[in-house]
Every structure is written in structure tokens, then in C-alpha cells.
Structure 1
Amino acid sequence: MIPVSLRHEDSEILEANCTITKDYQIISGDESFYRMMGENTMFLMNKLIYPDDLNIFEECISSDKSNFVLLRIHTAKEVFRWVLMRRRFEADEPGRIELQIKDVITQNDKFELYYNNVRKYRVFMNQMKQRFFEYDFKTKIITIYFYVNGHSEILEKDMLSEWQKRVVRMGFVEGENIERFNRMCDDIENGIDSFSSTFQSSFMSRGTRTDLLNFRGETMREGSINMLVVGLIDEIGGRIDAQPVLYDNDVNKDSATGLLNKKAVTEAVIDALAEADTLNDRRTLYLAVMDIDDFKNVNDTYGHYFGDEVIAGFAAELRKNIGDKGIIGRIGGDEFICLFTDCYSEDDVRIYLKAIRKGLSFSLAEKQPGYEFGASIGVAKYPQDGTVYEELFRIADGCLYIAKEKGKNRYIIYDEKLHGKAIAEGIKNGHIIGGDFMKPYEKGNMTADMIARIVKDGRNAIDSVFTELMDKMHIQGICVYAGDDMACVKKYGKYGNHPQYAALMGNDKYLSLFNENGINVINNITSLAMDFYDIYKMLIEEKICSSLQIGVKDADGVYKWLICFDTFGDHKRKWSHDDIMSIYILIKTIAKLDEINDEKNL
């Protein structure tokens, strides 16, 4: 007989929800349910109930009352666990039964009171504009967060000492504000009973605006032992805003699913990876590339209307199960992408992916009994597998290819020892192409084509070349400066007055940022704030946050051109070597052609 668990340490899940049919088949569940039940979800629900409790279970699902009953259920830990179960009539659909399950071992006499209080306080926190912070004396970690939709969104999580150094090093506090900031960190570390500190800083926006912040905190103790510092962060004025980039609008949405479209989701993922890289974020982010199996056969067999239902249903499952824990978008006909930004373990990711596939499979089978839904998924990890979008996408796409090779309808999370060789061979043989973002060889082909057009049509080709470059390489603006005064002679994109570089191009300190090939890479303009504050302010005013600058010298070694490739708003990017080389070769071609024309004119 399988034992009944009575030990508190065996208990992990407070509450779970699932859907079953009247024939006891488990259709779907939330992440807690799959975590509680594990592989047992493949069995009928009545087979998981302790034999002596079957009558209680039958009464529960056949009753017209939504009362909790006490029974035992077979869980993932190979034990029968005492649970409270009730039927949720408010969520019932025809032919389905919605069940709520609460683990008894985790309950105590006052649990309901505590649980409802927590939910109540979360609602209060949802309504508050302040940010929250806490410092754990045991781990030495400070966490800064806010609440939205009942969930905490973490802005910062790091060792207090490392966070303090990083904020100062990156110029997020300056001048006399550094002393105030450091004094506040000392108050937190020393466990001062209560404190209040006000200073100007741009760390809340990663350097894109300056806020006047007030930190108020108190130390919590058990006896004489410091446990936590908790407090509020108020933005009390003095804000200098940069215009935010909003992805949640119709322009950025895929019309068929309501998810982000390919361009918007790609930019959002690039932003998130760049932010994690800039902040030296220690969290693991998971990039998942998903493909609906045999989708062409769906359209051919059941028609395009049902095919549209499959696409919309998959998108709905992604929204329901991932929600605000990641960035989701559609990148092709039956292809989707998700960056999990709020998962704390690989097991969490596995549970989400399983829940997505399980729920949709049943609902579609009801509409088309002959159809078995399947999705293949490949997953890569940041920063373990790479830090640049293209690199992570290629690995995830390779894992997707392996998932299909192994029989489809499964997920593969990249492990170099297990999958590295197969992915390398797949890329070599052309089976793994990494979606339709610009891969290195595609950038090479694009660059060669652009060079041919420039050689053929001369300067007449530059407009079309730069426009195509912006579209395919996710560049929001290009500005061309020329002459002794470095005047702007051409600009592409939504610039205002465009930055003025004339003074800086005669500044030896600024010119030292350019390498021997005339390339200056600015992944984050905050790096300019300390030494080149004027240009930093100009870039802020223009909403520019990253820039690739390429200078072209004349025969005397003096810069005659400066071409800036810019991203706006929150689109900070880490310029890859492939990006830089493709753009550099194009500019060198244009410059060489200009030299040849000048010689002919002589």
C-alpha cells in the first residue's frame, strides 16, 4: 500500500486547480497542479483517489454545493496526501468539472485568515505607486520590486555590496548624491532601527531619467537578531523622463493572436537581454522557440478556419500559462517565441511548457476528434548558452530541430554535452537556420548584395541600402555627418534636432573611444555620462540609448565623415561582432567609391 504522508516537510503546494471530464480524464491544470501531481496526470482522476475515499470524491463532483471535502490523493512524491477538494461551479463549462485542491498538511487553524490577508495586502500593494525594497541579513541580498496583477516584479536583486558598487560605477548617482546613497546603504547593512534617505538617481530607469528618490525603511528582528530591512521607495519629484517605448499597442501586435508581432517581440527580447547584460543580472533567462507540429497538414486536412483556431488557441495558452512571467510573440505562421524572465528554475520552465501543450491538446481534440495537437519546443539559457539574441535563438532553434527529429511534441532544453554536436551538424548541413533573423551568413549575403548595388548605382543606392539595413538589423535611426563642421547631411528615422558632434570630433579624449578602424561602440549611453556629459544629455534629449559610430578619415588622417547607427527609447543593444563588421564593410565601400569619384573629378 502506498503510504499516507503526514510530515510537513513532504508538503510543498498550498493550492492547485485542475479541469477534468465527467469520465475523470484530466484535461488541464495550473502549474501548481502539475507540480503536485507530476507524471500522475496521465491517469484518470478517480484512479488517484485513495480507495476508501472514492465515495467522498464522487459526492464532491456530483454535489450541487461547492463545499470542501477531506480526502487523500496520490501525488508526485509517490504518497497519498491529505487534501481539501471542492468543485468550483463558477468556473464550470459544459462537460467539464473544475476542481480546487488545497494541501491539508500546509494548513493550520488560521490558514484561511492568513491566506486572505496576504491576498488583501497584495491588492493594496497593487494600488501603490511606490516601489518596495527588502534586505536579508542572512543572504546579504537586497531586492527592489513592485506589485502588478498580484505578482511581484523584481527590478533589482543582488548582494547589497555589489549593487552599491554598480550603481556608483555606472553613474546612476553623481556628485553629492553618492555620499547620501552610500550612507543609506550603510544604514541598511548596519540594521538601523528606522531611516529615511533622499537623493537623486537614475538607477530606477537604468540611466534613462533622473528621479528624486526617498528610501524609508525599518529593521525587523527576532529578539536581538537582525532579520530583514523592509521599506518603501517614493519618487517625490525631479524626474527627467525619456519617452518610453510601448510594445502594447496595435502597431506592435500580431492581428491574428494579439501577441507581439515578430519585429516587436524581437526588439523586446533584445532589450531584456541587453538590460540583463548591462546590470550583470545573475538570473537565468530562458529563450524558448516553439513550432506547432505538422501545421501544414492541419490546414490541408481540416481547413484554414480550423488552422486559425489552432494558432489562436496556442497563443491563448501561452498568455494564460506564461502571463507576466515572460515576453511572448509570434514570429511566423506557426512559430512563436518566449523569453521567460521570471522563472527561478529549469523545473519551472518544464512545468509551464507541459501545461501549455496539455491544455490545448484536449480542447482541440474535442472540436476535431481526429486531430492530435503537438508542439515542438527548443530552449536556450542566458547567460549559460550565450548573451546575444542571435546566438541564443540559434541554439534554441537547434533544440527545436532536435525535438522534431526525436518524434515531435516535446521540448528540448539545451545541454552542450547532449546537444552541442547535433546542433553543429544541423547548422553545417543547413537543417538549422535559426528562424528568419539575420544570421551571420545571411548578413554576409545581405552585405554582398548591398555592395553590388552601391558599386552599380553609386550614391543613388544609399537611401535604399540604409532603409533596408534599419529594417533587417533592428536599427531605429541613421545619421550622416560630413565636412569640417560635421553638419548633419542626411538622417533616417525619427530624429528631432539630432545630436551635434562637431566639438567632440575635435576632442582627443572623445576620439580615443574610436579604435584604429574608426569604430566607436556605445552599447549604453550611460557610459558617456561621466566624461562627456553634454553629449550624454543631447542623446537623452533625442531618446537615443545605444549607438554604433563609424568615422571615415581623409588622406591627412582627419575625420571627414561620421555615420551614427542609433537605437531609441529602451532599445539598448549589445552590438554583435557580425553587426559591426557588416555595417563597417558597407561604410568602407561607400567611402572607397567616394574616393574614386573624387580622383576622377581631378
Structure 2
Amino acid sequence: MSRIKRYYVEINESCQVLKCSNDFLVYIGRKELLNIESIIKDSDINNLKDAVSSLEKGDNTLVVFRTVCQDGSLNWMSANVHRSKHDASIIKLDIYDLHSFEMDKAEGYYDEMTGLLSKSAITDHAKRLMEQTNTPPFYFFLMDIDNFKSINDTYGHMKGDEVIVEVAGILKKCVGDKGVVGRIGGDEFLMILEKIHTEPELRDVLRNIRYDVREKYADEDNNYTITTSLGGALFPTDASNYEDMFKLADKMLYIAKAKGRDRYIIYTPSVHGDAKVDTEVVTITQRTMQNRIKNTLIMDLMEGFLLNNKISLKEAFNKVIDTYMLDAVYLVDKKTGRSCFGLSQSGEDTAIDLSGLDSSDYQPIFETYPIKVINMYDLQKDNYLKFSEFMLLNGFRIIVVYYMRNVPDGGYLMYVSSVNSNCRFSETDFSDLIYFSRMLELSGKMQTGGPFAE
């Protein structure tokens, strides 16, 4: 496991120590530490003081200094210095021994982009903890950045990398000395919170992560442009080995996404059932492989449908239904509320009729740009009770609606997942459905007022 020496200290404006991890006291060979200046080489003290005085509320900076140990030896340290957003008098230091840091970097424990543990390092750490006897309970949490693909698509990969680094910094700050954080791929992170043993402590950390990410990327109208979703469980209460724990946390992360993102889900047996043995849980690695298949499909459909007309509309919908494990797809006329085309998972024609509802019961949510992901729970919360009842009566779990504004008379493409479906939407799935829907809309082959083109 990682040999990085990492410590946590809180100080005030005068460098008086408010909180200090026991590991750091052992490292510097002292029983107590009243002022951090007392262990920093004289010529380096101003580095820290200048960094502290320059920080506004919620800001971070990096500073390097040398500590003086009891035996007189000097050790180079790197500290991430953060002024608390909630109490500006508190300065938090996340301190690393640079010598051990370089040793670990050489051995592949360090994720070069973020400074977090690498995938192999944090995985090994988690497995080792789980294999030890008498390990105290700890929380195991997965996190990813919501809508990250759209960030890359809209602003480019350099901006995407910048967001990953900044979010990683927030994770390190919020977790502090309560555990370790690793990057396990792309925008995906794993937290082993080995010093958190109660749910109230856990909720404080998770809330701070969500809050700090949201606030960092809030626009001038206070809209949160970048958010995170988290899911996890308690070892060994909820799962007793790494594989089961990862699957369980992954399912909780999926539920957080399905409920609208920007939230955390803690596994609760009375709410989530025996999710430990759910064979339908899709791990992050499996999702990566599935995403490659889906990306290939979208490119094939663009070529076969738009460029050389080798794929009919019905064939295109069949492929989308099969690949995304949908139960049905409908094209609904905006004026009548009735489907002019419908295709089921079995390949048979099907129909949907919204004409029994008032248009105000569904049009405001249907006409959301670019798509609207609808589930019964959000409808009930937003007082769309009649459409919620409609979904319940028809056995619909989730509907993804694309508003086709650029076809004659207007219409809605509805991608449906039933309550018994194995369909599990990811963020990239929603992006793919947007691309596919736009492709159909721009093709000029869609029409709601007449027969559906074959």
C-alpha cells in the first residue's frame, strides 16, 4: 500500500494549532503542537504566512516548507492550504512529506493529474483493510461528476481535465484526515472513509463535497453548472468483500443518478432491499465497455441513416431499443397527443394515447431543452400528479422525452423504460439519445401528421 506520509492540521491566522492529527505529532516527535511556526525552518515561515494571508474564504493554495524534527533533521513538506468557507478564521492544512511522495510516485501510487491515489493504490488499500481482522467499520463511496461528457463535448478536454483536478482538490479537502481518496478512471473517484464510523459524520462530509462543488461552479444567476453524485455503503455491515462492496456502491451511485443527480445515496436495506446480491448491477468497468458499443452504434446509425440511406427509421429504432434495453419508443403528435408511430422491444407496433390528459398535464415538462428525463417521483414532487398516474397505470418507470420543434406541427420522441425493465440509463446514454433524436429531426424524414416513413 501507499507509503505517502500525509497529515492534517488546522491553524488560525496567527498559526496557532487548533487541531492536529496524532500521526503528525508522532512524525515530528512531539506530544503536542501549539504553534506550527515552532516546527518550520525560520527562513520558510513567511512562505506559509504569506499563503495564509492571501486566501479569501473558500480559497486554496499550495505552499512548500521544511519542518524541523526533534533530532534536528529537515524534511521538505508540501501543504494544500485552505481557508474555510464557513469560518474564515480556520485554516486547514493537508500536509505531505515530499520524500515519501516521490517514492510513491515512482511506484505508481500517485495519479499524476490529480494528486490522488491511483486506481491500483486505493483498490489495494481497500482490499487490505477488508482482509485484516478486527478492522473497524468504514464507509466505501464512489463519486463521479454529473454531465461530464457534455463538459468535454461543449468546452473541450482541457476544460474537462481542469474540472477533474479542481473537483479532486475539493475531495481531498473535504475528506481531510478522515480517509483516503483515489481516482479510478475518467471523472470517477473512490473514497475509503476509514475514520468515519457513524452516519451523521458521513453526511457532513458528503454534504460538504456536494456543496463545495456546486458553489465553485455556480454561475451569476446561482445556477449550479457542475454537480456530483455519490453512492456507497458501510463495511462490513452491508458487504464483506471488495467486489460486493464495489457493486453495492455502484448501484447506489446509479440510484443517485436516476433520482436526478446532484445527491448522495447511502445504502439502507429497508429502502434498497438486498442490493448486495443484485446480479443486474452494472460496474464502472462494464459500463465503460457498454459505452464503447453504444458510441459505435450512434456512429453507425449516423452513417447508415443520414449519409447513405442504408438503414430505415424502423431499423434504427430497433437498434436503439436493443442497445439501450428500452421497452418502447413512440413518436407523439403534439396537436393530438396520440402516437403516429410506436415500436416495442419485441419489434411489434405499439401505441400511446395522451389525448385523455389536458396538455397542461404534460407539455410543460415535455418541452424541456434538449431532453427531459421523467420519473413518477419527480412528477409527484412537482405536482404533475395526473401524468404521474398515467405512468403508473401504464407501468412506466422512466420516460426520456425529446421535443421535436423542427418537424411539421411539432412532436415528441418518447423513450420508455418500464417498471420491470433491466434498463439502467447513464449520463452518456442521455447524450447519445440527444444525438440520435437530433439526427432524426434534421433528416427531414420525420413527420407527425401522416404515416411514419419506413
Q: Normalising TM by the smaller chain, what interval? A: 0.3 to 0.5
TM-score (norm. length: structure 2): 0.41
Structure (1 or 2) with the larger CA radius of gyration: 1
Where relative contact order (Cα < 8 A, 6+ residues apart) is larger, the structure is 2
